[in-house]
Amino acid sequence: MLSVYKYGGTSLVRAVPALLARVQRACLEGQQIVLVLSARGHTTDVLLRRGLRLGYARYSERLDTLLSLGERESVAFIAPLLAQLGLKVRALTPETLGLKVSAQPGRARVLGVDTRAIDAALADGAQVVVVPGFLGMDAMGVLRTLGRGGSDWTALALAHALKAPCSIFTDVEGVYTADPRYVPEAQLRPYMSHAALLALASAGAQVMQARAMVYAQAMGIPFKVASSQSDHPGTAVLPQVPGEAAFWGVALHRRQAYIQLKGIGSSFATELFQALRAWDLFVDPIWQQPEALAFTLDYDELPLLHHALRSAFGALKARNCSISTPIAKLTLLQSPENTQNPLDPRPFQRLKVIRALHQPHRLVFCLPPGGSIEAYRAVYKG
C-alpha cells in the first residue's frame, strides 16, 4: 500500500523522533511512503527577510530560488535519518519531482504531476520517497513556490496523482472548532467537509492552506489531518459529511489589513475582485456602496495586492485608497444550509469593532489588534 505523509515546519523541529517512528512502523507493515516536507521551523521567514534585505522583489524568481533552500534542507536532513533506520530511501529534488506549476513567482498554482520519478523509485524498491513541498517547476523549467503553506498543496496533488491516501501531520490532533491553544473548550471534529474546512481556512484558521483546500474541493480529494506526535485518529476531511454539525467554528486572523476604496466607478468592485481572484487572493468584502467598498486580506499579502492592482488598473490615486494595518479579524461560521437558525450578532455587540459584517451563516468582526485573543474566547463562548 502507498500513502502520502506531509509534515509541516513546526513538526520538523518538535516531532522528528515521532516522524521517524511513524514512517518506520508503516514500512515494517509493508507500506511505501511518499514523505512531503516543509522547511523546518521558521526557516522560510528567515530566508524571506534575508532576500528582502538583499533587494529581491517579493514575487520574483530570485526570491523563489532562495526560499527553496528551506525545503531542500529538510529533505537533506530527514532522508539520512530514515536510511539510518535501515529503510531504503530515495530523495527527490524539485527539479526531479515532477510537480508542474504555473509561472507566477511566489504564488504558483499546481497544474499537474508527472509521477514517473516517484513511480521509478517505488518500483526500484524504495520504501520511502522523500520530497520537498512548496516547490514546483513551470513549463520553462524555472523553479516556483506555491505560497505560504504550499506544502499542503504538494501533498494533496501527489496523493491525487498517485491515487494514494493522504495524511497531513501537524502540531494539533486534528481540526477543531477553534484554535485549542487559545480556546480550551474547542471541539475536535472527527469528520469535516471540504466546504467547512475551506471556509475556516479562508477566514484565517492555520490548519490548512486555503488555496490547497480549493484544490482538494475541486478534485474531491479525501485526506486526514492528525497530530505529528500522537496516534490520535485526527480528522477525516471528506467531500461531503452527511449530518455534519451546523456550527463550523470560529477563526481568528491576527494579521489582517483593512482596505477602503472611495470614489470608484460602479463596475470597479466587480473588476477588482476578478483581478484578485486571478492571483488566488482571499479577500473578505466587508461593506460596499455604489462608489465605495472595504475589504480585508492577509497583511503579508499586501505586496501581492499592490502588484495585482497595478497589473489590472495601473496605479490607484492615494486619495482613493486607505489601508489600516494591522487589524485582527474574527469570523464565526456555520453551514449555509442551516437556514432555520441564522447566526445572531446581538450577543457580540459589546465587542469593540472597526467594522462588522452580519450574514445568516457568517459573522465577521474587524477588531483592533490588542485584545483579540480575549475577544476570540468571548465570541466562541457566545
Number of neighbours of residue 322 by Cβ within 10 angstroms = 12
DSSP labels for 109-137? Answer: -EEEE--HHHHHHHHTT-SEEEEESSEEE
- Cell numbers for 246: 451546523
Whether the Cβ atoms of residue 64 and residue 138 lie closer than 8 Å to each other: no
pLDDT tens-digit series, residues 220-250:
999 999 999 999 999 999 999 998 989 999 9
Whether the Cβ atoms of residue 59 and residue 48 lie closer than 8 Å to each other: no
**Count of CA atoms in the C-beta half-sphere (13 A) of 207:** 39
pLDDT band at 318 (very low <50, low <70, confident <90, very high): very low
- Phi and psi torsions of 16, nearest 5°: -65, -45
Write down the pLDDT at residue 32: 98
Read off the pTM. 0.93
The sign of the CA dihedral 345, 281, 64, 83 is positive
Q: How far apart are CA 354 and CA 236, in angstroms?
A: 36
Q: How far apart are CA 60 and CA 68, in angstroms?
A: 12
pLDDT tens-digit series, residues 97-124:
999 999 999 999 999 999 999 999 999 9
pLDDT band at 371 (very low <50, low <70, confident <90, very high): confident
Instruction: Enter the CATH code of domain 248-381.
Output: 3.30.2130.10
Give 251's strand partners.
Answer: 331
Write down the pLDDT at residue 306: 80
**Domain locations in the chain as residue ranges:** 2-242, 248-381
Is residue 186 over pLDDT 60? yes
Q: How far apart are CA 367 and CA 18, in angstroms?
A: 39
pLDDT tens-digit series, residues 142-161:
999 999 999 999 999 999 99
CA distances 252 to 178, 260, 283, Å, are 8, 21, 15
Q: Which range (39-48, 166-175, 252-261) has the least confidence?
A: 252-261
Look at the domain 2-242 and name its fold.
Carbamate kinase (3.40.1160)
Q: How far apart are CA 106 and CA 282, in angstroms?
A: 15
The sign of the CA dihedral 38, 39, 40, 46 is negative
How high is the mean pLDDT of the chain? 92
Report angle CA 244, 250, 252 to the nearest 5 degrees.
145
Is residue 4 over pLDDT 80? yes
